[in-house]
Amino acid sequence: MRARALGSIAPALALLAVAGCDGGAVRPMQTMTTKSDLSEWIRTLFFQITAWDALVFTIVVVALFLALFVFSTRVGEAAPPSGAVSSLGLEAAWTIGPALVLLMISIPTIRTIFRTQAVKAPPGALIVKVIGHQWWWEFQYPALHVTTANELHLPAGRPVRLLVGSADLIHSFWIPQLGGKRDCIPGHVNQITLIARVPGRYWGECAEFCGTSHANMRFQAIVEGPAQFAAWTKAQLATPESPSGGPAGAGALEFANSPCTACHTIEGVSAGKVGPNLSHFAGRATLAGLRPNTPSNLAAWLRNPQRIKPGAQMPGLALSGDQLNDMVAYLEGLK
């Protein structure tokens, strides 16, 4: 029977072992492959608490087995009369023991909580305002005068102070490999301070149910070296392309005269604030935070956004084939 029990536990243990392996690329939403100081602290905390839990678990299981097999009577045997009297020493032990374990868990937990939301931003920190919308993310860099959507660029090795808020209802900002989660609450600003350490692209998502397309409220964090980050900033500050001829030129005219301008900003063309800023739309690798930013995916999005992001506020554009191609050519030129 012991062998059978072990046999049934072994696959579960093997699964657990595999789950702990480094597989950031394969399992982008796991927290064990840490890429920032914040996620590292949280992982360390997880291991510390697991160690204490394991100790408690072991003591309980040993006590259980002793009670079952050592300090128990056999069938047919009369139970000896109990001579138990209250024992101050024992009672003190099982009060102080668990209290110590709770203390060992709460001290590092509270320390990590305070560490991750320091009252003052660390010197030299880059401030980024994160604003959750149904169902997309806005990122503003006040000192750089940059506003973008669904792709959060962060410089590696530099402290970042994220000021997390919401434009409508409660969302939750979460990049598993960089740390989080933190609620985005309308009329309130939450903070996350972290230093992203490893350059790369990391998936993030909304972690608080916020309506129809909650599961589609995804985004990417792009951690890059200082030179690449500076180059990205420069590209964001450049005046967007304003083509005059060809399909892109026709698309530019079409955009300027369309209802798109009421919701979207393209620097020098429109100043809508309802949807993502499109000034440098083609500089993003993803579309709507969900798909690769390719002409065919963009055409599919413009035709019927609801199909890709059900419930999205953006209506389908009733464009003819040529008009659609022109609009795609224009938007995909906005590097």
Q: Which is nearer to ligand CUA, 220 or 270 (CB)?
A: 220
Q: Which two tokens stand for residue 328?
A: 């795609």
How many residues sit in the footprint of ligand CUA (CB under 6 A)? 9
**Binding of ligand CUA by 208 (CB under 6 A):** yes
| Residue (134 or 270) nearer to ligand CUA, CB | 134
* Minimum distance from residue 221 beta carbon to ligand CUA (Å): 16
The 8 Å CB, 24+ separation contacts for 98-101 are 98/56, 101/52, 101/55, 101/56
* Out of 126, 210, 223, 329, the residue judged to bind ligand CUA by CB under 6 A: 210
Determine, following the binding rule CB under 6 A, whether residue 206 of this chain makes contact with ligand CUA. Answer: yes
Residue 277's nearest CA partner among 146, 147, 141 is: 147
Among 132, 176, 240, 305, binds ligand CUA (CB under 6 A): 132
Of positions 113, 209, 212, 315, contacts ligand CUA by CB under 6 A:
209
The span from the CA of 327 to the CA of 47, in Å, is 52
The reply to whether 331 sits near ligand CUA by the rule CB under 6 A is no
Q: Contact at 8 Å (CB) between 137 and 149? A: yes
Which of the ranges 31-39, 209-217, 238-246, 291-299 carries the binding residues for ligand CUA, by CB under 6 A?
209-217
Residues 6 or more apart in contact with residue 304 via CB below 8 angstroms: 316
Minimum CB separation of residue 166 from ligand CUA in Å reads 8
Contacts 24+ apart (CB under 8 A), 9-16: none
Distance from the first to the final alpha carbon of the chain: 66
CB of 215 to ligand CUA, least distance (A): 8
Under 8 Å between Cβ of 287 and 309: no
Where on the chain is the footprint of ligand CUA (CB under 6 A)?
Answer: 132, 135, 171, 206, 208-210, 214, 217
